[in-house]
Amino acid sequence: MPSNISNEAPSEMNSPTATSAKPDMLISILARMTMEEKIGQMSQYFGHGEPISEHLVQSIRQGRVGSVINEVRLHTVNELQRLAVEESRLGIPLLIGRDVIHGFNTIFPIPLGQAASWCAETVKQCAHISALEAATAGVNWTFAPMIDISRDPRWGRIAESLGEDPYLCSVLGVAMLQGFQGDELRKNGSIAACAKHFAGYGAGESGRDYSTTNIPENELRNVYLPPFKAAADAGVATFMSAFSDLNGVPASGNKWLMTEILREEWDYKGFVVSDWESIQQLTTHGFSKDNKNAAYEASNSGIDMEMVSSTYLDHLPELIAEGRIDIQQIDSAVNKILQLKWQLGLFDSPYTDASLLPTPLNSQHLQIAKDAAIKSCVLLKNDKNILPLSTESLHCVAIIGPLADDPYEQLGTWIFDGDSQHSQTCLTAIEQELSGKANINYVKTMETSRSYDQTNFKQAVESAAAADVALLILGEESILSGEAHCRAEIGLPGCQEQLIDRIAATGTPIVLVIMAGRPLTIETVLPKVAAVLFAWHPGTMGGPAISDLLFGKAFPSGKLPVTFPRKIGQVPIYYAQKHSGKPATEAAFVHMDDIPVHSPQTSLGMAATHLDTHFSPLFPFGFGLAYTQFSYRNLELSHTTLHIGETLTVRVLLTNTGDTDGEEIAQLYIRDLVGSVTRPVKELKDFKRIKLAAGTSKWVTFELSTDKLAFYDRNMQLKTETGQFHLWLGGCSQSGMQGEFEITDD
C-alpha cells in the first residue's frame, strides 16, 4: 500500500447515491492527480488475456487505466491490481468489469426467464450467487441489470431483459442490483452493479439491435425510464449509456439523459460508463464529425468513463486546453469513479483471495439454480392434465429433439464464464427419474435447432409410435438471441414444426418443452400438442428442473413477463396498450376469410384490428397455468372514493380449488379511465406469490397508495389525477375480479 494513502477506512457509506462525505483520502488523491492520471481513471481498457500486454502494463504504470474489462483469470487480475497499486505513482486500484448477467460459473435462467418467476427473492439470490462466484475471479463490477423495457420479441436482447412491464421490471431490476451489491459494497463477494442501457434501447425500429429509437418524452417517462429511476433510487453503483440514437441524439452523447434527467432531476451520485466503443460510434451515427468531437459530446453530456475506445485519452487533454471542457467536469467524473473504488474497499484490499469466498458451482449454488429454473418455467398448455406425468402408468417415453441433451444451448446468451460441462440436461435428468420405472427412446433427430435435415425423422417417428408419450424438447439455440441476434420471423427455427407434424401423426400425445430466448409464434403448433412447458434458456440445472416439473416433483408457477404474439405482424403487442379511438372488439373483428365478395370499402369492423389475425395475443402478459386451479372470490375495496394521498386496501379470497398444491402469482392491475394524456387499458401495480395447499384459501391483500397511480402528464409533471379507476385482481393481465374506485379532490 503506497505510503501516501492512509489505511484507515473512513466511515462506511455503501451506496454512491447516498450523500456520502468524500473521505479526505480521495480529496488528497484528486488534488495530486495530473490531468493524464485523471483522464486515465475515465478510461476502461479491454484486457487481452495472458500474458498482459506490454501496452497495458505501461498504461497502468502511467496511470492511464481506471478499469479493465474482460479479464477473469485471478492471478492475472491480481497482477493487474499489483501493477496499479504498487507500480503507478498514486497506487489507485482498478475496477475489474465483466458481464455477469445471469450467472458466472453457475448459470441461472436467462433474465427473461428469471422475470417469469415474478419472484424478487429468487432474482436477488441468483444475482448474489453470481456476485460471489465472479468475485472469486477478482471481478468487482458487473454490467447488469439490463432493465430495458422490451416489447419486441424480434430483438435478440429481450432475452437479457426483465420483460415488457415497467413495474415488474422495476421490482426485479432492483432485486437484481441488490443481489449483486449486497448490503455493503465493500463486503467480500459484493460487486458494483450497472443499470443499462440508458435509455430506450429496447424500442429499436423493426426489432433490430442498435437501430434508431423514436420515443416521445411522455412515453419515455411513463414506460422506459421508471426501471432506471427505481435502480437509481435503490443505489445502483453505475449506469451504462445505450448504443442507440434516441430521437436523433445518441444516448452516449445525450446531455438531456445523462445530466438533466439522471443528475439534475434524479440527483444520481454514481457514475456513467459508455457502452463498448459507443463514444467512438458517435461519429458512425453521424452525430460527431470525428473522435475529438465525439469525446467532447460524450464528456459534456455526462459520460464519466469510456469503455474500450480511447477518445477520452486521445482528445480530452486538448479539449480541456482549448477550454471546451471544464476541468470541474473532469474532476467530478474522476471523483465518482474514485468514490466507487473506495466504497468497494479497493483502496484497503485491492487483491482477491478466492479462498475467502464460496467455491463456485457448489451444491448450494446448483440447488438455487434448479429452484430458479423451476420458478421460471411457464406452463402454457396442459390438455386433460396430461402433466404431471405419472411414472406408474408410463412404460415407454420417447425423448426427441435437438435441445434434449445439449448442455451448452440450455445455458442461454451472455454466459462468458459458464461451462457446459456442468450442465445437467433434460435427457440425463429424465433418465435418472425414470431409471427402473420406464424405458426411454431418445432420438436427437436434428443436429441443431436450425437444421432442415429430416434424415432422422423416421427414427423419431418410430420412437414416438412405440411410446406412451413423446417428450419433444425443441426451441432456439442460444446464439439466436442476445446482442445483435435478432430475428424477423420468430417461429420454431429449422424443420422443428415439420417434426411436430410427423410425431403428431403417430397419435402419441406430445408434451412440448421449449427452450428459447424470446417468445415464439407457436400458434400453429398448439393444436398438435397436449402440453407446452416454456423453459426459456433455463441454465446449468435446466434438466433437473424440467424433469421435476414434468413428473410432478415440483409444480409450475411461472407467469409470462412478456406477451406472446400469434403472428409477428402483431408486434409490437403488449398488454398495457392505449385504448385508441376505435378499439379492437370481438364485434368489430372480421377475418379476411369471412369477408363477403365485393364488400363495400366501409363495411368492415372499422376498428384497430388486422384482417388476417385475431387482435388478441397468443398468450397474454401474466399468463401461466398450474397443476391445480385457483379461484378469486370476495373482492373487497376499502374505499369506493378516496383522496390524493390516501391508500386503498384491496383484498380477495384466493382458493386452491384443485387437488394438488400450487403457487399462484396474484396480480393487481388498474386502469385510469380518463387522463390528461391517454392512459393504458391496464397497468400492473402490484403482485404477490402465494403458496396454497390443495383445498385451502387465503386472503390476499394489497395496499395501493394514490402515488402509485401517478404518471407524467402532458406537461411532463408526475401527478396522480382525480377521476374514475377500474381495478382487476387475478392470475393474469386478461382475467381477474373487477372493481372500481374514484379519486376525488372535493
C-beta of 411: minimal distance to ligand GLC in Å? 17
Nearest residue (CB) to ligand GLC, 275 versus 306: 275
C-beta of 515: minimal distance to ligand GLC in Å? 22
Looking at beta carbons, which residue is closest to ligand GLC? 143
> Is residue 745 among the annotated active site residues?
no
Q: How far apart are the first and last CA of the chain?
A: 66
* Single-letter code of the amino acid located at 4: N
Residue 105 backbone dihedrals phi, psi, to 5 degrees:
-90, -45
Nearest residue (CB) to ligand GLC, 76 versus 506: 76
Spatial contact of 584 and 560, defined as CB atoms under 8 Å apart: no
Nearest residue (CB) to ligand GLC, 177 versus 404: 177
C-beta of 210: minimal distance to ligand GLC in Å? 9
C-beta of 184: minimal distance to ligand GLC in Å? 24
C-beta of 294: minimal distance to ligand GLC in Å? 17
Nearest residue (CB) to ligand GLC, 100 versus 666: 100
Considering only 37, 71, 79, 99, the residue that binds ligand GLC (CB under 6 A) is 99
User: Could you tell me how many residues of this chain bind ligand GLC (CB under 6 A)?
Assistant: 6
Bridge partners of residue 46, in order along the sequence: 69
Burial class for 167, CB neighbours closer than 10 Å (0-12, 13-18, 19+): buried
Nearest residue (CB) to ligand GLC, 222 versus 252: 252
Nearest residue (CB) to ligand GLC, 67 versus 382: 67
Spatial contact of 410 and 537, defined as CB atoms under 8 Å apart: yes
C-beta of 99: minimal distance to ligand GLC in Å? 5
In this structure, is the dihedral angle defined by the CA atoms of residues 197, 199, 202 and 205, taken in order, positive or negative?
negative
The Cα–Cα gap between 41 and 55 comes to 16
Cell 491480481 belongs to residue = 78
SS3 content of the chain, % helix, strand, coil (to 5): 30, 20, 50
Considering only 45, 108, 118, 143, the residue that binds ligand GLC (CB under 6 A) is 143
Query: Of 245, 275, 405, 548, which is the active-site residue?
Result: 275
Spatial contact of 377 and 545, defined as CB atoms under 8 Å apart: yes
Contact string 513-552 vs ligand GLC (x = CB under 6 A): ----------------------------------------
Nearest residue (CB) to ligand GLC, 241 versus 667: 241
* Single-letter code of the amino acid located at 330: I
Burial class for 299, CB neighbours closer than 10 Å (0-12, 13-18, 19+): buried
C-beta of 191: minimal distance to ligand GLC in Å? 14
Considering only 196, 370, 375, 682, the residue that binds ligand GLC (CB under 6 A) is 196
Nearest residue (CB) to ligand GLC, 413 versus 655: 413
C-beta of 572: minimal distance to ligand GLC in Å? 21
The Cα–Cα gap between 269 and 132 comes to 25
Considering only 104, 167, 276, 669, the residue that binds ligand GLC (CB under 6 A) is 276
Spatial contact of 344 and 189, defined as CB atoms under 8 Å apart: no
Bridge partners of residue 730, in order along the sequence: 667
Nearest residue (CB) to ligand GLC, 198 versus 711: 198
Contact string 242-261 vs ligand GLC (x = CB under 6 A): --------------------
3-state secondary structure of 258: helix
Contacts of 21 (CB under 8 A, 6+ apart): 10, 11, 13
Closest CA to 130 of 417, 400, 474, 423: 417
Q: How far is CA 354 from CA 52, 132, 202, 552, in A?
A: 21, 10, 37, 39
Considering only 133, 275, 304, 417, the residue that binds ligand GLC (CB under 6 A) is 275
- DSSP string computed for 556-582: -----SSPBPSSGGG-S--TT-B--SS
Q: Quick check: 71 binds ligand GLC (CB under 6 A)?
A: no
Contact string 469-508 vs ligand GLC (x = CB under 6 A): --------------x-------------------------
Closest CA to 533 of 431, 607, 426, 676: 426
**Residue 504: how many other CB atoms lie within 10 Å:** 19
C-beta of 161: minimal distance to ligand GLC in Å? 11
C-beta of 425: minimal distance to ligand GLC in Å? 28
Spatial contact of 541 and 366, defined as CB atoms under 8 Å apart: yes
Closest CA to 220 of 174, 195, 251, 263: 251
Q: Any idea of the CA torsion for 143, 149, 153, 154, to the nearest 10 degrees?
A: -70
Nearest residue (CB) to ligand GLC, 94 versus 732: 94
Catalytic residue IDs? 275
Q: List residues binding ligand GLC (CB under 6 A).
A: 99, 143, 196, 275-276, 483
